[in-house]
Amino acid sequence: MERRFARFRRGPLNDYPGASEVPDNGMCFSVFLVLEPPDRDGAVLMGRVDPAAPWWEIGAIPTAMVGAIGDRWMLPSSQLLLFESPAEACRRILKEQLDSGPVPLTGPLVFSDPSVRPGSPGRDPHWDFHFVYRGRWSASTPPRAPAWRHLEFVEVARTTRAEIARGQGDVLELIGLLPKEGPGRRARTADGRTTGKRRT
């Protein structure tokens, strides 16, 4: 099989050896903030979204998907804007989602996560790149911000994956924080890909 590199072009590829088209089922580059209180290990800042907030603008979540999130917990997070760096996205998320100035962060931890979506006709899986930043929130009380109905420091080990939106239980597991029912990474196929549902 011809080796395909993560080197993408639109249009004919004949003059660009190793280049590929964008994967059939697309690819996403997303930043997640894992903010922990100063005095509680295993708890992270998560919120219940306010469906009236402009989540398409601040988090790349279409209006219909905001409704599907319902009362489930979500990390402060967003897909990157086109040509935005992960560090710039961190600053934007802090400002637009948490009404906060800079917070000391470590990272990013970067994860490549291809997953086959049931019913997708393309030959390629969907390909996610997760840029995960961690930091300590300065206070033992969570912030308040209008993008959320409620923000809380959530004990991950006491929270099921079903209570966490958009597959973010998987993101937390990648950094060693296991939701209540333990390991649950999507099953690997024979070629090393993962299988799973579309994230909502």
* 55-65 pLDDT tens trace: 999 999 998 89
The pLDDT of residue 197 is above 50: no
Number of other residues whose CB lies within 10 A of the CB of residue 6 = 12
Q: How far apart are CA 40 and CA 12, in angstroms?
A: 54
Continuous segment of H or E residues that includes residue 97: helix 86-98
Q: pTM for the full model?
A: 0.86
CATH of 27-154, one of 3.30.70.2740, 3.90.79.10, 1.25.60.10, 3.40.5.90: 3.90.79.10
* 4-42 pLDDT tens trace: 767 676 666 666 666 677 777 888 999 999 999 998 889
How many residues does this entry show for the chain?
Answer: 200
Continuous segment of H or E residues that includes residue 56: helix 55-59
CA dist list (Å): 35 to 109, 123, 151: 14, 37, 12
What's the Rg (C-alpha) of the chain? Answer: 18
At 73, list the tokens.
């917990």
Confidence of residue 75 (pLDDT cuts 50, 70, 90): very high
